[in-house]
Amino acid sequence: MTRARWPLEDYDLAATLTSGQAFRWSRSGPAWEGVVAGRWVRLEASGDQLSAEVSEPVSDWAWLEHYLGLPESLPSILATFPKDAPMAAAISACHGLRLLRQEPWECLASFILSSTKQIVQIQQCVALLSERFGDRLPVPMGKPAAYSFPTRARLAAATELELRACKLGFRARYLAGAARALASGELSLDRLGNLPTPDARDQLMKLPGVGPKIANCVLLFAYGRQDAFPVDVWVLRALRELYFPRRRPNLRTLQRFAETYFGPNAGYAQQYLFHYVRTKR
């Protein structure tokens, strides 16, 4: 195995990996094991240090640093959040929560599968898809098998029945349609990164099963677009309970508020509100 270490400051690894951004991580004792960029990875945060292990030789760890957002200064990001009581409570409860930067296709496909599903169910679907249609990856002796996320071409060639066998339900049709659109070149995820956020969002929403929430998740978690503010039931609850406790604003009003109130790192603020409301007791 190959190992690397980084100094760790203002980074809550467990919160980051379990906050509904990515669905490939599982707890293994004090560590977390998952798949990033087609590699089995073991991560452990201990005190002021983050350690990573992979099963094959690695000379450049930039891919993992980028995925984990290690170069970012969290204090600088939090300083741009609104100075209000709800945001202060979210920061206090979730301090160290980071945004991951995921591969766009896996991120898109995973969120297409997320419709009306809980996180544990999405994890199960992603695992079944990867086992059936991905490639088996090298893992250390004694570790469970791990698989790469299937390519868009591989899923484009699958039948809806084959996809439904991975517990996708009605989402199988949407995933197949999106995979075929991308595999045919109808839409390029690479070129999407060069578009302004509103144009990129419009392009994503042309894909089957992709509405504003999924498009914004992809733009935020894969492309790092901080002006993308995903709104799901948890974020709606956060906005209504924390910012409009005596009113019942409609979705359009809440979206307008979110787009203008939370500053240049609105996407980051959204994740703090999402995780705070979802986990607070």
Question: Residue 58 carries which side chain, given as an amino acid letter?
Answer: V
Instruction: Tell me how far CA of residue 134 lies from CA of 49, 62, 123, 157, in angstroms.
Output: 32, 24, 15, 13
Give the chain's largest Cα–Cα span. 57
Does 202 reside within a domain?
A: yes
H/E stretch holding 231 reads: none
What are φ and ψ of residue 257, in 5° steps? Answer: -60, -45
CB atoms within 10 A of CB 237: 14
Q: Do 212 and 232 belong to one domain? A: no
Best CA proximity match to 97, nearest among 16, 25, 168: 16
Q: Do 126 and 209 belong to one domain? A: yes
Does 98 reside within a domain?
A: no
pLDDT, tens digit, 9 for 90 and up, residues 124-181: 999 999 999 999 999 999 999 999 999 999 999 999 999 999 999 999 999 999 999 9
- Decide: pTM greater than 0.75: yes
CATH of the domain at 83: 1.10.1670.10
Does 47 reside within a domain?
A: yes
CATH of the domain at 188: 1.10.340.30
Residue 255 is predicted with a pLDDT of 85
DSSP 36-80: ETTEEEEEEEETTEEEEEESS--S--HHHHHHHTTTS-HHHHHTT
* Residue 171 CA to its chain's centroid (Å): 18
* Residue bearing tokens 């000379």: 59
* Residue 6 CA to its chain's centroid (Å): 22
Does 51 reside within a domain?
A: yes
Residue 117 is predicted with a pLDDT of 86
With a cut of 90, say whether residue 8 has pLDDT above it. Answer: yes
Q: What does the mean pLDDT of the chain come to?
A: 95
How many domains does the structure of the chain reveal? 3
Does 124 reside within a domain?
A: yes
Handedness of CA 234, 238, 241, 246 (dihedral sign): negative
Q: Do 202 and 230 belong to one domain? A: no
Does 12 reside within a domain?
A: yes
pLDDT, tens digit, 9 for 90 and up, residues 182-225: 999 999 999 999 999 999 999 999 999 999 999 999 999 999 99
With a cut of 90, say whether residue 248 has pLDDT above it. Answer: no
Both structure tokens of 95: 């301090």
Does 99 reside within a domain?
A: no
Handedness of CA 252, 122, 132, 2 (dihedral sign): positive
Does 40 reside within a domain?
A: yes
* 8 A C-beta contact, residue 204 and residue 214: yes
Outline where 113-196 has alpha helix (H).
119-133, 152-156, 160-164, 171-183, 189-192
With bands split at pLDDT 50, 70 and 90, how would you rate the model's confidence at 281? low
Both structure tokens of 126: 């992603």
Both structure tokens of 12: 């809550």
Query: Which residue segment(s) compose the domain that 251 sits in?
Result: 74-93+226-280
Rg of the chain (C-alpha set): 19
With a cut of 90, say whether residue 115 has pLDDT above it. Answer: no
Instruction: Tell me how far CA of residue 221 lies from CA of 22, 79, 280, in angstroms.
Output: 9, 20, 23
